[in-house]
Amino acid sequence: MKAVQLREMNESELKTKLNDNLEALQNLKFQQALQQLEDGTLISKTRTEIAQIKTVLNEYKLGIRVAQGKN
């Protein structure tokens, strides 16, 4: 997901997306441990998206991003 799309989401949607990605990352690591993971780049892509989501959530926390559609 692109950073622009993440910035258009509200805080509750971001938290839901973050939880989904954390679960997906855990499953990907488990698949890698069992040598069932086809595409190893999925782990790094998921970690990158988690970092982007946490950055936007931190912007909400610091007051940089006030509401959806603004700033």
Q: Are 8 and 57 spatial neighbours (Cβ–Cβ below 8 Å)?
A: no
If one counts every other C-beta atom within 10 angstroms of the C-beta of residue 17, the result is 19
Q: How many domains does the chain have?
A: 1
Q: Residue-wise pLDDT tens for the chain (71 aa)?
A: 788 888 889 999 999 999 999 999 999 999 999 999 999 899 999 999 999 999 999 998 998 877 654 44
Give the DSSP letter of residue 47.
H
Report CA-CA distances (Å) from 22 to 2, 7, 60, 62, 66.
17, 19, 20, 23, 25
In a domain, 10, yes or no: yes
Say which CATH number the domain at 7 has: 1.10.287.310
Global pTM value? 0.85
In a domain, 7, yes or no: yes
The torsion defined by the Cα of 8, 5, 10 and 62, in degrees rounded to 10, comes to -80
In a domain, 24, yes or no: yes
